[in-house]
Structure 1
Amino acid sequence: MPSAPKQRQILVLLALHAGRVVTTQTFVEELWGDKPPRSFATTLQTYISQLRAKLAKAAGDASWARRLLSTRHSGYQMDARQCRTDVAEFGHLVQAGRRTAETGDPAATSRLLGDALALWRGPVLVDVPVGRILAADVAALEETRLGVLERRIEADLALRRHADLLGELAMLVMRNPMNENFSALQMTALYRSGRSGRALEEFRRIRAVLRDELGVEPGPRLQQLHRTILAGEPDAEPAWLGS
């Protein structure tokens, strides 16, 4: 990874969008926002040349660096076939996990989505300067991660691992106090673990938060789950939530 901040931004932007052309305008918006320098085109070309030189030095092959990072009519492109990233691997595992969910295989879904989530070792791009474009990419990746996490927990619930999920779900609800899906999953795990009173407490908590912060009631999923727990029905939600 280059040490210069803007070179790091450029490399990450190209890698996240590998296989697609990143336009000059996109680079300008990411690097300088509304205040680009007058010579932004020349400056960007210099950054790209310096980045290619660093890649060539690291690989010992200048021609490979030019193939990896090519110039296009409207910008630059990273060759996806020669650029392996943990983000791309995450995407492949998520797609595989979704396919197994569609076929009704919670064990495979839990394993694949768990492997995908294991690639996350902390906040996205924590050591890279982030402009407008990368900020949007980071937000999208985080939303995807949360969705994948929900799906993995659903698969684990289908495998009757509710007791093992209680600690993880308590932390997720604490960090995402208005996320109705996490609350529903926590209520389900609590109820199946014989803690119906605590499950009802969670419903009252999120109901109060949603009313105070947004002026709305919990959605249909939470409302139905609440009624199910009050009625003491044998199971709180369908056995396979991923289907």
Structure 2
Amino acid sequence: MIRASTSDRPDGVPDSARFATGLRHARQAEEAGSTTSARQTVGDALALWRGSALQDAVRYPFAVAEARRLDGLRHQAEELRAHLLLADGEPEAAAIAVEALVEAAPLREASWAILMRALYASGRAAEALRQYECFRIALAEDLGVDSGPGLRELHLAILRHDADALCLPRTRAVPSAAPDVDTDGRGGLLVAHALLHELQVKPPLIRPWTGPRVDRTIPDLEVHRTP
């Protein structure tokens, strides 16, 4: 667990504060271009976690909101680690790391963006397109919304094999080609038909929602209502 208590810390700094500080430093290192330092720092921050947040204080009402905040920061830290793996030319490891994140928060577009980029960089462009299509359909059917412009642009970049837009390391091998689809906007992107074989072989990461249709959004989900 990550603790709010300082009883086992000689410097009096709780694990929750250490974690938040570590994440901030990792982001600063990544922005400065030091992926090695960023990976080490975010790894050390995540190592502070043992199970749920503030498990030693769950009996107190104030801990509920704080635990939710820390869980959100933990997800961001995991996303950063996956992003750094991809930036360091390890797309397969990045894809594995982020798959668990989209399972845990299936409506968080930031995680899906990393997954799509990692799959493409791993030579699995068709799977990246398939996962986007499953995510788009789930949003439309369950919430009546569309994916944000950033994810739509990423989808188009994969279709066009636009490495610059995908921001991928140039030292890696060029991925296998995506299936031929219409990208001029006149005939629509019928990705599902092009990916029929994969859809029969491997189930999508996102699963149909079977619970009540209430409050499925998260604060940073950027969505747009469909007509």
Normalised to the residue count of structure 2, the TM-score between the two structures is 0.66
Partners of 1:236 and 1:199 lie apart in 2 by 15
Report the equivalent of 1:159: 88
**Runs of 5+ consecutive residues of structure 2 not aligned to the other structure:** 170-227
Q: Which residue of 1 aligns with 2:73?
A: 144
Q: Which of residues 152, 157, 181 is equivalent to 1:228? A: 157
Larger radius of gyration: 1
Alpha carbons 1:191, 1:229 under 8 Å: kept? yes
Q: 1:89: Cα distance to partner?
A: 1.9
Cα root mean square deviation, aligned: 2.5
Q: Distance in 2 between matches of 1:120 and 1:215?
A: 36
Task: Determine the C-alpha separation between the residues in 2 that align with 1:225 and 1:175.
Answer: 22
Letter in 2 for 1:103: A
| Corresponding residue to 1:178 among 100, 103, 107 | 107
1:94 to 12, 19, 23: 23
Residue 151 of structure 1: SS of its match in structure 2?
helix
Partners in 1 of 2:24 and 2:103 — Cα distance? 28
Q: % of aligned pairs identical?
A: 31
1:109 correspondence with 2:38 = yes
CA contact (8 A) 2:158 2:166 kept: no
1:238 offset after TM fit, Å? 1.8
Q: In the alignment, is the contact (CA less than 8 A) between 1:211 and 1:217 conserved in 2?
A: yes
1:129-159 superposed Cα distances (whole Å, 9 cap, x missing partner): 3343110110111111111222222222111
Aligned residues: 167
Q: Identify unmatched segments of 5+ residues in structure 1.
A: 1-11, 19-54, 59-79
CA distance, structure 1, for counterparts of residue 123 and residue 35 of structure 2: 23
Which residue is 1:3 aligned to? none
Q: Which amino acid aligns with 1:93?
A: G
1:208 is matched with: 137
- CA distance in 2 between counterparts of 1:86 and 1:129 reads 16
Q: Which has the higher helix share?
A: 1
Counterpart of 2:124?
195
- Secondary structure of the residue aligned to 1:104 is coil
Q: TM-score, normalised by structure 1?
A: 0.62
Q: Does 2:188 correspond to 1:237?
A: no
Does the CA contact (< 8 Å) of 2:154 and 2:166 recur in 1? yes
> Are the aligned partners of 1:180 and 1:206 in contact in 2 as well (CA < 8 Å)?
no
> What is the CA distance between 1:213 and its match in structure 2?
2.7
| Residue in structure 1 matched with residue 220 of structure 2 by the alignment | none
Deviations 1:2-33 (A, max 9, x none): xxxxxxxxxx76x4xx8xxxxxxxxxxxxxxx
> Which residue number corresponds to residue 62 of structure 2?
133
